[in-house]
Chain A
Amino acid sequence: MRSRWLCWLLMAVLLLGCQVANQAGGQETEMQDAVAAGMVGAVDLPQPGRALEQLAELSDRRGRGKDQEGSNADDDGGADRGDGERMRIYQGNMTVEVARREDAAAQFLSKVRDWGGYLATQQDDQYTLRLPAAHFEDAIAVLRGMGRVLRESRQANDVTDQFFDLGLRLENARKSRERLLVLLAKAEKVEDMLKIEEQLRRLTEEIERFEGQQKMLLDQVAMATIAVRFAVAAASLAQPDGRKSRFLWIRSLGAERMQGGF
């Protein structure tokens, strides 16, 4: 009888223990689910005194996001992939002596168009062409093959630092604008509103200017510029030495011979 009571007591203790354990385990599972679902973060409300700081942080994050999008766009431009993602502006200037300028220009322009480039300007025998930077060296090689190269210069300007400086300035300007917008929403006096709006106008102009500069840099990096002058081979002004060839057949050739003894 005594052992029967002891058995019942032991079973009751065991059941109680299991129930407590089950309740604890359930809470843990719910917490894990909440973390997994991001619910804990979602209910983490900002403290009243930190509202502006948190807005600035949000703006920062947004700015960084935009910058990342911008840098992805750079990658798509594909101006310079090989050398540690440096951004370079390629420019070339050549003078090539050819037999017929129009033919040479048409031939080169056709090639440039095949590469996705275009004729930017033409003034007499001077042509300025824009073409994808990836084909810069190809274009130089084509020009070299078209005739005698009288002048050649090339340069690659590294604008990586300049581009990222612009990005930082742009980011700061955007942050300031976000802050001003918040202040504008809170402003009650007309005088304050006017002052903030003036600042906003100035900042917006600055942002547009920076964006324009960035866009221009991206364009210059993506598209190389080649200025080429096709010089026509004119009749020589140099005095010929007059020494006759030792080969008779060569002596009987020439425009002057054809005009005479045809």
Chain B
Amino acid sequence: MRRLFVLCSALLVASCAMQMDLPTGFLRLKARESGDVRAVTAGDARIWVRDFAVDEGASLNFWITALRADLEQARGYRLVPKDVPFVDAAGHKGCLIEGTIAVGGEVHGYLVSVLQLDGKHLRVAEFSAREAEFLVHVEAVRTAVTTIR
């Protein structure tokens, strides 16, 4: 009975864990994950998908605007002005923001997708790499974020 409970719990956790079809060239770092998704390429491009609990009652547009403001004004990101709306494999509405930032003296590309799961939770997928590596994978990552479920 106890084993059955553990098995059911494990299955439940497995079924609730987020999934994403990673693009070719990415290795998933399962040992470092704790309810999130982390993956890297040999060239050190990184994907990180996480869930966040947020204040209740705000729309996706609110969060996107707040994120944009922080990245651009507080941190000096240069963002592409057009956000790209999309829907993930679970039917959640989301939005993609893309930009660049200098980190450690090198220009890095940054792509962040924000999905609204419900009124109190967001799922955020980030992709970042040095510019050259970023350009190699960015289109595949754009496609991959639509497979999040």
A interface residues with partner B (beta carbon < 8 Å): 97-100, 103, 145-148, 233-236, 238-245, 247, 249-256, 258-259, 262
> Bound state CA distance, A147 and B81, in angstroms?
6
B81 touches A259 (CB 8 A): no
Q: Which residue of B lies closest to A244 (CB)?
A: B74
Residues on the B chain within 8 Å of A233, using CB: 78-80, 99-100
Chain A to chain B: the 10 pairs with minimum beta-carbon distance, closest first:
A240-B76, A249-B52, A148-B81, A255-B128, A245-B70, A255-B110, A235-B102, A236-B78, A236-B76, A99-B80
A262 to B41 CA separation, bound complex (whole angstroms): 13
B140 interface contact, C-beta 8 A: no
Residue in B closest to A245 when the chains form the complex, CB atoms: B70
Residues of B within 8 A of A240 (CB): 73-76
Known contacts A99-B98, A147-B82, A247-B66; A259 and B108 CB within 8 A of each other = yes
A233 CA to B99 CA in the complex, in Å? 7
Q: How far apart sit A146 and B102, CA to CA, in the bound complex (Å)?
A: 23
Closest to A149 in B: B81
Say yes or no: B79 contacts A259, CB within 8 Å.
Answer: no
Find out whether the CB atom of B78 lies under 8 angstroms from the CB atom of A235.
yes
A243 & B103 in contact (Cβ 8 Å cutoff): no
The answer, yes or no, to whether B86 is at the interface (CB within 8 Å) is no
Query: Do A100 and B135 touch (CB < 8 A)?
Result: yes
* Known contacts A234-B100, A235-B107, A262 near B46 by CB under 8 Å: yes
- Is there contact, CB below 8 Å, between B100 and A235? yes
- Contact, CB under 8 Å: A242 / B128: no
**Cβ of B80 and Cβ of A254 under 8 Å apart?**
no
User: CB of B22 within 8 A of chain A?
Assistant: no
Closest to A100 in B: B135
Residues of A near B128 (CB, < 8 A) are 255, 258-259
Tell me the nearest residue of chain A to B29, going by C-beta: A262
Partner among B70, B103, B135 whose Cβ is within 8 Å of the Cβ of A256? B103
* A259 near B70: Cβ-Cβ < 8 Å: no
Query: How far apart sit A233 and B102, CA to CA, in the bound complex (Å)?
Result: 12
Could you tell me if A245 and B66 are in contact, using CB atoms closer than 8 angstroms? yes
Q: Which of B53, B69, B124 contacts A253 (CB 8 A)?
A: B124
Q: Is the CB of B76 within 8 A of A249?
A: no
**Residue from A242, A250, A258 within 8 A of B66 (CB atoms):** A250
B14 adjacent to chain A (CB < 8 Å):
no
Instruction: Take A147-B81, A259-B103 as given contacts and tell me if A249 and B74 are in contact as well, using a CB distance cutoff of 8 Å.
Output: no
Q: How far is the CA of A103 from the CA of B109 in the complex (A)?
A: 15
Assembly CA distance A32 to B46 (angstroms):
96
**A255 and B82 within 8 A (CB):** no
Contacts of A244 in B (CB 8 A): 70, 74
Q: Is the CB of A234 within 8 A of B74?
A: no
Please, which residue of chain B has its CB at the minimum distance from the CB of A260?
A: B103
In the bound complex, CA of A258 to CA of B134 (Å): 14
Q: B87 at interface (Cβ–Cβ under 8 A)? A: no
CB of A253 within 8 A of CB of B80, answer no
- Residue of B48, B54, B75, B124 contacting most chain A CB atoms (<10 Å): B75
Q: B11 to nearest A CB, angstroms?
A: 29
B45-76 to A contact mask, C-beta < 8 Å, 1/0: 01010001111000000000011011111111
Q: How far is the CB of B89 from chain A (nearest CB, A)?
A: 22
Q: When chains A and B are docked, how far (Å) is the Cα of A253 from the Cα of B49?
A: 11
> Assuming the A-B contacts A234-B78, A249-B124, are A241 and B71 also in contact, with contact meaning beta carbons closer than 8 angstroms in the complex?
no
Cβ–Cβ < 8 Å partners of B72 in chain A? 236
